[in-house]
Structures are given as structure tokens and as C-alpha cells.
């Protein structure tokens, strides 16, 4: 992880957060159950 550029890591986290927000917005209950299993 230390070898990756900071910008790349931050950009990846932003995309991941946006993706999670879309999932929670679409079907909160089902998504939360699936995430809870992981």
C-alpha cells in the first residue's frame, strides 16, 4: 500500500463511497444484510 500514490488511494476511496451510497439508496435493507454477512 505504501508504494501506491496518495492520489490513487484517495480516488479509489471516493469511488468506493459513491458506490456504497448508491447501493444503500437503492435497497437499504437487503444491502445491509449482505454487507453484515461479510
User: Where would I find the H helices in the chain?
Assistant: 6-26, 28-37
- The per-residue pLDDT for range 2-13, each reduced to its tens digit, is 687 888 888 888
Q: 6-26 and 28-37 helices cross at what angle (nearest 10)?
A: 130
Q: How far is CA 13 from the centre of its chain?
A: 7
Q: According to the model, what pLDDT value does residue 20 have?
A: 83
- The per-residue pLDDT for range 4-37, each reduced to its tens digit, is 788 888 888 889 888 888 877 776 566 566 667 6
pTM (2 d.p.): 0.42
Judged against a pLDDT cut of 60, whether residue 1 lies above it is answered with no
Amino acid at each position: 500500500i505504501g508504494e501506491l500514490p496518495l492520489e490513487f488511494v484517495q480516488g479509489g476511496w471516493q469511488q468506493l463511497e459513491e458506490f456504497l451510497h448508491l447501493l444503500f439508496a437503492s435497497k437499504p435493507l437487503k444491502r445491509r444484510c449482505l454487507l453484515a454477512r461479510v
